[in-house]
Amino acid sequence: MGRGFVAIRPHELRNISPHMHWLCREYRFTLGHRPLVMGIVNVTPDSFSDGGQFFDPDAAIAHGLQLVADGADILDVGGESTRPGSQPVPAVDELARVLPVVRELAKRTQIPISVDTTKASVARACLDAGAVIVNDITGLTGDPAMPALCAKTGAGVVIMHMQGTPQTMQVDPRYDDVTTSVRDFLSDRIAKLCDAGIPLEALTVDPGIGFGKTMPHNLQLLAHLAELRSLGRPIVLGVSRKGVIGTIINRERGDRLAGSLAVACFATATHGADIWRVHDVAAHRDAARLYEAIRDQAESRNEPKPRDSVDTKAATV
Tens digits of residue pLDDT in 156-198: 999 999 987 777 678 888 999 999 999 999 999 999 999 999 9
* Residue 7 forms part of a structural domain: no
> Looking at residue 52, what is its pLDDT?
65
CA distance 174 to 18: 33
- The type of residue at 171 is V
Q: What percent of the chain has pLDDT over 70?
A: 86
pLDDT at 233 over 50: yes
Q: Is the pLDDT of residue 47 over 90?
A: no
Q: Looking at the domain assignment, is residue 196 inside a domain?
A: yes
Q: Give the C-alpha separation, 4 to 195, whole Å.
A: 9
Confidence of residue 82 (pLDDT cuts 50, 70, 90): confident
Residue range 293-308: mean pLDDT, rounded: 70
Mean pLDDT, range 147-151, rounded to an integer: 98
- Tell me whether residue 304 is in a domain: no
pLDDT at 46: 60
**Is residue 47 included in any domain, yes or no?**
yes
- 285 backbone dihedrals φ, ψ, rounded to 5°: -65, -40
Specify if 25 maps to a domain: yes
The winner for highest mean pLDDT among 25-34, 225-234, 295-304 is: 225-234
CATH number at residue 137: 3.20.20.20
Indicate whether 316 pLDDT > 60. no
Mean pLDDT (whole number) for 105-124: 97
Q: How many domains does the chain have?
A: 1
pLDDT at position 311 is 54
| pLDDT value of residue 165 | 75
- 232 — pLDDT class (breaks 50, 70, 90): very high
Q: What is the mean pLDDT of residues 204-215?
A: 95
Banded pLDDT at 130 (limits 50, 70, 90): very high
Q: Is pLDDT above 70 for 77?
A: yes
Q: 42-56, 168-182, 277-291: lowest mean pLDDT where?
A: 42-56
Residue 152 is among the residues annotated as catalytic for this protein: no
Separation of CA 315 from chain center: 21
Query: Known catalytic residue: 119?
Result: no
pTM of structure: 0.87
User: Is 87 a member of any domain?
Assistant: yes
The pLDDT of residue 18 = 58
**Catalytic, out of 233, 242, 256, 285:** 242
Please report whether residue 229 resides in a domain. Answer: yes
Of 229, 256, 277, 285, catalytic: 277
Whole-angstrom distance, CA of residue 287 vs CA of residue 270: 15
3-class DSSP state of 205: strand
Residue 129 included in any domain: yes
Determine the structural domain holding residue 53 and report its residue range. 21-299
Give me the sign of the Cα torsion angle 237, 241, 242, 246: positive
Distance CA 133, CA 75 (A): 10
Lowest mean pLDDT among 247-256, 276-285, 308-317: 308-317
Which range, 8-12, 40-44, 78-82, 170-174, has the best average confidence (pLDDT)? 40-44
Mean pLDDT of the chain: 88
Helix (H) or strand (E) holding 145: none
pLDDT at site 39: 98
Task: Say what percent of the chain tops pLDDT 90.
Answer: 73
Residue-level pLDDT at 12: 39
